[in-house]
Structure 1
């Protein structure tokens, strides 16, 4: 396993353990148990993992995930923490970093930010302290452009630009009017994956365009 994916796997395992089974997450209404089962399924059952993205296989995926969710919670966490089995595609050199850095970062935040102690202040969203180290932030930024076009492009009803506080931008969708969403790389990744209501980001642009965007993609305070 490579550096960032390995670290995020460890962080996610610790967060899942601390939260305990059955705790809420930000992920599709799943509890921590269901999220842990999803993570194990992705690496251990490639026959079922396809249903994560392919609609007509989703029922089979759900059945296999339910079976994993019945396992003792510590066993699920151990299976995830140990990494992919040797015959899993995720065990190929470079695959863990390419496929899992963003996945594990987002799911770690799904657990962390579902806690009642988590607060996002929309009034000071961009100025809030960043919780991602510099190396991981750059890795997330490097993956943001194609992910933003894939995840938010088809959903956004307006032109959409994602911007770092220092000025670098990614165009998620062409169009007029344009809304610019500003935040640190990790926060923009969370926004792109539909976690904007729990992200430290700020949307700027025409008020009506911002309202249209907020109807399609969650923003802080909504």
Structure 2
């Protein structure tokens, strides 16, 4: 099975464990709200564009709220089942859902106190390292300084170029990916001048 598939099943298991009204790291969304978001993203081609296009967001939010009102077991079933065969996402699941499922799984887990980072295989961390470098170019695009990702192994990558000073963010690929996606509940170390570090850590990193 693919990384995306495994994360999808693990995400649903965590949602079931915490329950429909548990918080997530997605603003005010509960697990129920997040499940509805995932469902319309994969099953409602009329509403999915509003996730990215603000002019269409009103219709998307209306559909999401209606979906969220469905029975909890039905929502979990639809998320677990994944996109139907008629959805373009069915054929691109491994390519476009790895980060979606991983990040939202951590949104569910890390919204609670005493969370811990899950152990991931070297191969899966390598996949996340590739995605982290891609996403970071958007996440840190407004940074006033150069931003460098650095792994525990010492491998590094410049993810935002600047003629100004440099901030180095050190951590495992999974943690760097989550930070690039705007999450603050991460295990990373930031190195640089204090003001520069604060400027990077306080960025709006929404993608």
Instruction: Give the structure-2-normalised TM-score.
Output: 0.93
Q: What does residue 124 of structure 1 align with? A: none
Q: CA deviation at 1:133?
A: 2.2
Long gaps (5+) in structure 2: none
Matched, 1:168 2:155: yes
Query: In the alignment, which residue of structure 1 is the partner of 2:197?
Result: 210
Offset at residue 22 of structure 1 (A): 1.0
Give 1:217 shift.
5.3
Aligned residues between the structures: 204
1:146 equivalent in alignment to 2:134 = yes
1:156 Cα deviation from its structure 2 partner = 2.1
Shift of 1:27: 1.3
Q: Name the CA distance, whole Å, in 2 between partners of 1:151 and 1:215.
A: 12
Sort the Cα spacing of 1:215 and 1:143 in 2 relative to 1 into closer, same or farther, 3 A. closer
Report which stretch shifted further, 109-118 or 181-190: 109-118
Q: Are 2:150 and 2:156, in contact at CA under 8 Å, matched by a contact in 1?
A: yes
Match of 1:108 in 2: 105
Relative distance call for 1:107 and 1:14 in structure 2 (3 A) is same
Give the SS at the match of 1:110. helix
CA offsets, 1:142-197, max 9 Å, x none? 222221102222x32321111111112222211121101010010001000111x2
Match of 1:55 in 2: 54
Any unmatched runs of 5+ in structure 1? 120-128
Q: CA deviation at 1:31?
A: 0.6
Question: RMSD of aligned C-alpha atoms?
Answer: 1.5
Corresponding position of 1:40: 39
Q: Aligned equivalents of 2:196 and 2:5: distance in 1? A: 39
**Structure-1-length-normalised TM-score:** 0.87
- Find the aligned partners of 2:114 and 2:197 in 1 and give their Cα distance: 28
User: How far apart are the structure 1 equivalents of 2:98 and 2:203?
Assistant: 26
CA distance in 2, matches of 1:75, 1:107: 19
For 1:130-141, what aligned pairs fall within 5 Å after superposition? Answer: 131-141=119-129
Alignment partner, residue 67 of structure 1: 66
Q: Find runs of 4+ consecutive structure 1 residues off by over 6 angstroms.
A: none
Shift in CA distance, 166/55, structure 1 to aligned 2, threshold 3 Å:
same
